[in-house]
Structures are given as C-alpha cells and as structure tokens.
Amino acid sequence: MTTRTETAPGDKRVESREDLLAVFDNGEKPKADWRIGTEHEKFVFRCRDHGAPSYDEPGGIRDLLEALTDYGWAPVIEGGKTIALTGPDGAISLEPAGQLELSGAPREHLHQTCAEAGTHLTQCKAVGEKLGLCFLGLGMWPDKTRSVLPVMPKGRYRIMLDYMPKVGGLGLDMMLRTCTIQTNLDYSSEADMARKFQVGLALQPLATALFANSPFTEGRPNRFLSFRSHIWSDTDPDRTGMLPFVFEEGFGYERYLDYALDVPMYFVFRDGKYVDVAGQSFRDFLAGRLPGLPGEMPLVSDFTDHLSTIFPEVRLKSFLEMRGADGGPWSRICALPAFWVGLLYDDAALAAAWDEVKHWSIEERQLLRDSVPKLGLQATTPVGETLLELGQRVLAIADAGLRARGWLNSSGDNETGFLDPLREILASGRTPAERLLERYHGEWGGDVSRIYEEETF
C-alpha cells in the first residue's frame, strides 16, 4: 500500500475537473515506454515459534527494515519510526500487521522483473537468518487469529482499522491476515486503457483461480480455495467489486473519475500526519466543504492518495493494477506479471483475450467472480465450460503474446518460461490451494503448522 510522509514536489491545488482527469491522461505512454511493475507481499514470522513479530520487539519488523538498509535501501520515516524503504528496486513497505511488501521498480521485461524479486528475497532471507525471521508465501495467515497479530505504526492504518468494521464484516481480515501478488501495467490511450481494463476485469476470476492459495483459517480448512478473494466480497461495497460500468459503451477516464469521487474517503495527508476523514466525500472536498478539513481545498496528491484506497479487482491510477491473485512462492511472483503482460501488452493477444469474454453479461461476470473463491478452476464460465478449460486457451494466448514481444535473456530464452508454474497447475487441474488441502488431509495428518516447513521462501 502507498506510503507517503511529505507533500510531493510540484504538488498543486485542484482547480478544475481537468486537473483530476490529468492524473489518468498523464499515464498514457507510447508502447516503447510501457513498463512492468510487480508487487508482492509475504508474511513475516519468527522461525522458532511461527509467531508474528511486532514492530518494536528485538528482532522484529523495525529491526528487519533497518537491517535491509545494509543493502542500500533508504529509510522512510513517519512519526520518528522507519515504516518503509526506498531504493533502485522500488520500495519496501509494511502492510497493517507487518506483512512485508516489495513494490518493484518499473521494468522493461520479465527477466528484469524476476531478477528484482530474486534479489529482494535473497536479501530478506539473509537478514532473516540473522534475526531469526522467516517468510511465508500464502494468500492468508493459515493459523493466526486477528487478536494475536500486531499493528504497524502507520497513521493511515489506524484510520482504516477503525473504519473497516463499520462497512463490512471482513475488512479487518483483509488488512491483517492476507497477502497478494499484483502487476501494474501501462496504457497508450484512453481507448487502450479501457480495453485492458475490460479484459483484466473479465479474466480476473481466472487469475484468482490459478493463484488460489488461502484454504486455511485459524488452523483448519475454511471451505474456500481463495478465502482472500472471498474476503473482498464483505470488506466495503463502496470501494470493491467488478465495476459493471467498465463494460458500458463509452467507458473511459470520465466515468472512472465519477466512480472515484463517489467512493468515501479515508484520510487526508497534511503536515506530516494523516487526518481522519473516513466516510466523507471527495466531492465535498472539491467544493471546500469537507467536514474534517473545513475550508481546505484538495491537492492533486490528495486525489492520488484517494485512488490508492479504492479496491476493485482492477484499479486505475496513472496505470492499471491487476489485483486478483493470492500471495505465493517465488515462481508465482514471476508468473503473475507474465500472465498479464502476455495478454495485455501484445495487440493480437489483447484482441484474442477480448474475444473470449466480450459476450458475457454483467450478471454472468459477477456470478463467475462469486463462485471462484470456493470452486477455483472448476467454476463454470458463462458459456458452460470450466475455468480450467478456458484457462488452457487463455494461457496459450498469453504465451503467444510473450513470444511476440521477443525479449530474450543472456541465454537466449524468451519470457514464456515464466508461465511454467501456471502450465503445471492447468495440467494437473488442481489449484495451489487444493494441493495444500491434499497434504493437510494426508501426510500432514491435519497439522497445518507443517505449512511453515514446506511453504517458507
């Protein structure tokens, strides 16, 4: 999640609607300048007892961040505490309960993306060995109750943790108990953004199924394959969901702006602090009538902050974020951007992917999204086939899109090898969650703690 501790240089007051639309307009880039940004979160735990470390304890999250500065990362300070790091490979930040996130730098091709993730994980493991910390790649804590989890010292999280129970039953679980992998991608024009948004949103259930990896809650099976995905259905209806308007004729920046302005705010950043305006309207802010900051007018950075607190399956900022995947192991961190880059960064692949989903109705899209957390690849698409069957064709499209890009590493390999973990999932017909459940009911003998031995990075 975005971390900010000061007003951005060159920030300006919002004087018109056009200043807000410019956030999206300014994201347009020629194809040669398109980049790949990959974000991944992981659970940090004490190796000796599997406990979630607090920020301040010896060998805890603060010490982890400070130790990572030995690799050239620069600290980001809020309230006198290091709460994030910045460097050439992007930013390292903390999710509410100490989940550690790498928001990678924009990369030209997937070989760079995967090398970046590898470097970061190698650094984490080296520091972890000194501090007695380990790292787990899952979509949800497999055994932790909310009550035993720490809360990180970030001002925005206090505001969100207070607001979440007022609007949904599972928002605190989203904040404290989940991890994801995301991919951020560029667009060349409003029309290109709209088509990528539509394909990404329609196929997000397939990504959720392929990466489903959260079948346990508090030590037991939870009857879901992606409980993390289910959590979003009861987090906050004002800022989540499949966004039916994205598929309407004429969808573009204006329509997304209207949607964003109607999503209630969480906070405004002023003088180094987060001001609680939870539930208040950005439209009132534009008119100088925000109850939490009477007479104050918004900055452009206030709007970009607000965009970061909207949580649909695909999110628009000055780029598009693909948000449907559970956290997972090293190989799937590389597989998620490969999947979406293959589909969305080649014109022929994008057109072929749209052909697969363009006839689905809004109701059918929603039904598919609602069924995936439990059924995974066995969820039925609007044409009566399973996601497993659709996935075979879509992965072939992604493969062709990556081949067309022609990015080779020093060994002469193109980017298609990063899809191999997804090929294995489709070949077996089983999601990662189903494989975990088989081990739980088999060799683990119902002992979910075995997951710490076998799924640690």
Question: From the first residue on, what is the mean pLDDT of each consecutive set of 10 residues in the chain (457 residues)?
Answer: 54 95 98 98 98 98 98 96 96 98 98 97 98 98 98 97 98 98 98 98 98 98 98 98 97 98 97 95 96 95 97 98 97 98 98 98 98 98 97 98 97 98 98 98 98 94
Q: What pLDDT score was predicted for residue 4?
A: 54
Q: 224 by DSSP, 3-state: which?
A: coil
Torsion of Cα atoms, 383 then 387 then 391 then 393, to 10°: -20
CA-to-CA distance for 269 and 304, rounded, in angstroms?
A: 11
Model pLDDT, residue 321: 98
- Report yes or no: 229 and 212 within 8 Å, Cβ to Cβ: yes
Q: What's the pLDDT score for residue 5?
A: 47
Dist CA 70 CA 184 (whole Å): 28
Q: Where are the domains of the chain?
A: 17-454
Q: What is the pLDDT of residue 3?
A: 59
Whole-angstrom Cα distance, residue 368 to residue 22?
34
CATH class of 17-454: alpha beta
At 89 the pLDDT is 94
Task: Give the per-residue pLDDT at 325.
Answer: 98
Within 13 Å and on the Cβ side, how many CA atoms surround 177?
A: 27
Q: Which pLDDT belongs to residue 99?
A: 98
Query: For residue 51, what pLDDT is reported?
Result: 98
| DSSP secondary structure string for all residues of 353-414 | HHHHHTT--HHHHHHHHHHHHHHGGGPBPTTS-BHHHHHHHHHHHHHHHHHHH----TTS--
Whole-structure pTM over 0.95, yes or no? yes
- Token digits for 73? 């990362």
